[in-house]
Structure 1
Amino acid sequence: MKRRRAQTRARLLDAAFEAFAEDGLGRCTVEQICERAGFTRGAFYSNFTSLEELFLAMWEQRSAAMLAEVSAVLENDVAIPDQREAVEFVLSAVPVDDKWFRITSEFTAHALRNPDLRRMMVAREEAIRAALTPVLLRLLARVGRDVPDPVALGRALIAAHDGTMAQCLLEPDSADVREYRVDLFMRVLESYTDPS
């Protein structure tokens, strides 16, 4: 029963991802997602209370996958000779995903109009940052950098990622934009870390 329920959730999450990306969160209905997944409304409501709850589960799932990917990359004992290569190494594990960007941008705007949802998003972002920080600290130690304020570094890196992701998506064929992205991450690291 648990396995079947997990499969149902996974199919609903996959269907919602495609529906949200194509039609937008504001135009999607529970019925549309159920139809895509091949389920009834009952299957939806036995797993989620609302589209917002489904989105938060999707965000948690994707954040966990991203953290696992970054951790797996960092667990590899590949020699990382300098800070720039470390940045490129980590960025290679963090996807620049057009669909996910559209979904999260719309949901963020929705949350800004809903104080309870806004608080939930802030709490989820803090949990992601807290989980990612030890991984980044280990990587930075490998390239000889200390982090006096890990929370500030985490916030700055998320801001840099979110902003540069939009630029990369708007100009997907621009090598300059990708280079500027690495440059910005380098400046953030130089500002928030010290040589060890």
Structure 2
Amino acid sequence: MATEVTPKRVTRRRVRTRANLLAAAFAVFAAKGYGRVSIEEVCEAAGYSRGAFYSNFDSLDELFFALYQERAELIADQVSEAFALDGPDLDVPAAVDRVTDVLLLDLDWLLVKTDFLVHAARDPAVAQSLLDHRARLRAVIADRLALAAGRFELPTVLDHVDSAAHAVIAAYDGVTTQLLLDKDVEHARVWLKQLLTALLTDGSRGLE
């Protein structure tokens, strides 16, 4: 019986160790930037040895990739939930408010995400992962808008839900780039809500 329990304890411990390493890495990457962080620094921040690190990751690149994947999947799930709360009768302004709160997240995430974008620009395999994530986000948005088709009208310039989904992601990219520079989270949230409302409606509650 003991031989059956031990592997479960080891598995739980390993899952916890991996989660702690990812959490520590997030803070270290946000503070110093990818390319300026060592395995030792991640281990020190998490309170683990190099052995614990290498039992979970082969390299710092693998950890960084896992960190991005974890956060990206969380965001995609949150966006999906934000769009689904109204059921088939999509309340666009309310959905915009919820999605804006999810998408903005925090400055630390934006710093890590930007580092990942730069890393992806130099590595085709990493770039494909980023493209896959963005495609998933667009699909979530497009599918939700399509489900509510007939209950609201997109502006003429966005004649298809796929175009609207692309525009939502582009607006987010633009606003968060400014946010990284001026650090004004509240202004960025207001500006993004205005942009998305103008993009997804007739603009009556749009830019002010």
TM range (shorter): 0.7 to 0.9
Between the aligned partners of 1:81 and 1:122, the Cα distance in structure 2 is: 27
Residues 10 and 132 of structure 1, relative CA distance in 2, 3 Å threshold: farther
- Partner AA of 2:178 in structure 1: Q
Aligned partners of 2:76 and 2:136 also within 8 Å? no
Q: 1:11 matched to which residue of 2? A: 20
2:155 maps to 1:144: no
**Greater alpha carbon shift after TM alignment, 97-106 vs 162-171:** 162-171
Task: Please point out which of 171, 176, 184 is paired with 1:165.
Answer: 176
Q: 2:197 matched to which residue of 1? A: 186
Name the count of aligned residue pairs.
189
**Greater alpha carbon shift after TM alignment, 153-162 vs 7-16:** 153-162
Between the aligned partners of 1:101 and 1:93, the Cα distance in structure 2 is: 12
Q: 2:143 matched to which residue of 1? A: 134
1:34 CA displacement: 1.0
State the secondary structure of the residue aligned to 1:26: coil
Residues 134 and 33 of structure 1, relative CA distance in 2, 3 Å threshold: same
- Partner AA of 1:125 in structure 2: R
Between the aligned partners of 2:98 and 2:151, the Cα distance in structure 1 is: 12
* Per-residue CA distance 1:4-48 (angstroms, 9 max, x = gap): 221111001000000001111111011110111111222222222
2:34 maps to 1:25: yes
State the secondary structure of the residue aligned to 2:35: helix
Aligned partners of 1:83 and 1:143 also within 8 Å? no
Question: Percent identical across equivalent pairs?
Answer: 34
Residues 154 and 79 of structure 1, relative CA distance in 2, 3 Å threshold: closer
- With the length of structure 1 as denominator, give the TM-score of the two structures: 0.77
Residues 53 and 150 of structure 1, relative CA distance in 2, 3 Å threshold: farther
Structure label with greater radius of gyration: 2
Between the aligned partners of 1:67 and 1:124, the Cα distance in structure 2 is: 8
- Partner AA of 2:57 in structure 1: F
* Per-residue CA distance 1:116-164 (angstroms, 9 max, x = gap): 32233223332443355434544x4485347864443333221211211
- Partner AA of 1:18 in structure 2: A
State the secondary structure of the residue aligned to 1:119: helix
Long gaps (5+) in structure 1: 192-196
Long gaps (5+) in structure 2: 1-9, 203-208
Aligned partners of 2:72 and 2:133 also within 8 Å? no
Q: 2:64 matched to which residue of 1? A: 55
Q: 1:44 matched to which residue of 2? A: 53
Residues 68 and 14 of structure 1, relative CA distance in 2, 3 Å threshold: same
Root-mean-square deviation over aligned CA pairs: 3.1
Aligned partners of 1:66 and 1:94 also within 8 Å? yes
